Amino acid sequence: MAATPGATGVPDGGTAAPGGTFSSVFVTIRSIQAHVSAIADDTSSGWQELAPQLVSAPVQVDLLHLPAKGQCLLEQLGSTSLPAGDYQQIRLILLANAAPSGPAPSTDSNACFKPLGGDVFNCVVDSSGTHMLDLSSQANTGLKIPPGQIMGGPIHVAAGQSVDLNIDFNTCASLIREGNGDFRLKPALTAGVVSQNKTGISGQMVDSVTSQPIAGAIVTLQFADKSGVDRVAMQQQTDSTGHFSFCPLAVGAVFDVVSDALTPSGTAYNVTVVPNVVGGTNLGAVPLVAETPATAGASTGPGTIQGTITAINGTAGATIDADVSALQTVTVSSTSLTFTVPLFPKSNAADVTVTSSTSCPTGAPKGAFCGSYTLVVPASNPIVGTFAAGKTTITSPATGDVLYTVEADATNPASDATMCSPSSQTTSKDATAMPLKVTAGATTTAAELDFTGCS
């Protein structure tokens, strides 16, 4: 037997709500489980309970409530002993928004109860009030953290060893507003073994010319997936003084810090990529470069990419969701690095709904269902930063056209399972088959992304 996480917890992996519109996101956790098999599914035996305390007393957590100053963890969720092994998957099971069949928080400790009434245990709060957070099937199957989202590889628990495990909600990427106005949880989670000193990555985003702090800059920690493309593991916005802090982080994990910004006055900043940053690093002041007008009086704002996604199964249209990303590439030590661009507000990229109710453009496959997306992005080439001797320095951005690649991943609206073959599509072309070039203050239409074989 081996002792496992005394510090299983949820840290502040998202210090501001998406678009600044949410003040609280309440979820009620009733179970955390782990499995040694990377291919175990919802019905497989062998899932081990990591926090049995939750089974008898579910805990409601506000994902946007910041920990006390000097602390990393938002909530300590429990501990237990379990068989030694390499645990490949983790899942969180939330309490459903229904009459509970077992233990549940009291009405006094359930922040969703008074404003919504009834048996609601998961909700979001914005300027218009409190709204139920739809879990779809996830209340039964759990919120999955598959092998690729466990930082540093499988959770290794040796006999007699104590392991601290951290679970991080990327709150900014986990909330979807449906077309009918309802809110749905589509969780973006990571996990990993953390050290007791809970080291993180921190710094301050500043203007490269004035050195003034940039509030509301978008900062992400990214790591390469199996295809070699950097994906967002954690995301937050800088505070009023331009500071950010990701804490705790998995032991031995190395991230690329990718950031950009859009000021309230409409000035966009280039993406800055600081590669290979290890936990425990304070990057200090990270300079961001403001958009330079192409000509006198030209826009210094972002550019916009718009496009259409279609889905078909044989000759019949198919209803899918699609998550859309904007990608750029930089050269780091003579090697190309493709990363995910943090999107600016007014983007419509998460869970783009492809249904029969959306009009299709001329030339779309006959019988296909359609959906449209909008990506608001920097209209400038990315910059590479280097951290050395306690200081972050940057290179000049490349000259020439600002080129993008758009990627869409198809999922099932009900379960978030993949459902098309292939399940991912990319394009680096615009609607005229020319390179996908973005210009400040202008809109570029991307080539259509057509999904086939959708069930």
pLDDT tens for each residue of 194-241: 665 557 899 999 999 999 999 999 999 999 998 999 999 888 899 899
Answer yes or no: do 424 and 309 share one domain.
Answer: yes
User: For the whole prediction, is pTM greater than 0.95?
Assistant: no
Nearest-CA neighbor of 309 among 445, 455, 172, 136? 445
pLDDT confidence tier of residue 66, bands split at 50, 70 and 90? low
Nearest-CA neighbor of 167 among 307, 57, 59, 318? 59
CATH number at residue 255: 2.60.40.10
Residue 311 lies inside a defined structural domain of this protein: yes
Domains: count for the chain: 3
259, 288, 317 — which closes off a domain?
A: 288
DSSP string of 23-91? EEEEEEEEEEEEES-TT--TT-S-PEES-HHHHHS-EEEETTSPPPTT--EEEEEEEEEE--EEE-EEE
Answer yes or no: do 315 and 402 share one domain.
Answer: yes
Residue 276 lies inside a defined structural domain of this protein: yes
Residue 296 lies inside a defined structural domain of this protein: no
230, 257, 288 — which closes off a domain?
A: 288
Please report the pLDDT score of residue 19 as a whole number: 42
The pair of three-digit structure tokens given for residue 363, joined into one six-digit string? 């030339």
Residue 297 lies inside a defined structural domain of this protein: no
Give percent of the chain with pLDDT exceeding 70.
89
Answer yes or no: do 70 and 162 share one domain.
Answer: yes
* Residue 22 or 57, more confident: 57
Mean pLDDT of the chain: 86
Answer yes or no: do 214 and 363 share one domain.
Answer: no
Answer yes or no: do 124 and 208 share one domain.
Answer: no
Phi, psi of 173 (to 5 degrees): -105, 5
Answer yes or no: do 258 and 154 share one domain.
Answer: no
d(CA 281, CA 260): 19
Answer yes or no: do 131 and 270 share one domain.
Answer: no
Show the domain range for 187: 2-193
Residue 298 lies inside a defined structural domain of this protein: no
145, 169, 193 — which closes off a domain?
A: 193
Answer yes or no: do 35 and 133 share one domain.
Answer: yes
Residue 150 lies inside a defined structural domain of this protein: yes
Please report the pLDDT score of residue 76 as a whole number: 76
Residue 240 lies inside a defined structural domain of this protein: yes
Answer yes or no: do 312 and 261 share one domain.
Answer: no
Answer yes or no: do 265 and 336 share one domain.
Answer: no
Least confident of 43-47, 146-150, 243-247, 408-412: 146-150
Residue 293 lies inside a defined structural domain of this protein: no
Answer yes or no: do 189 and 207 share one domain.
Answer: no
Strand segments, DSSP code E, in 281-345 are 282-288, 303-313, 316-317, 320-332, 335-340
Answer yes or no: do 131 and 215 share one domain.
Answer: no
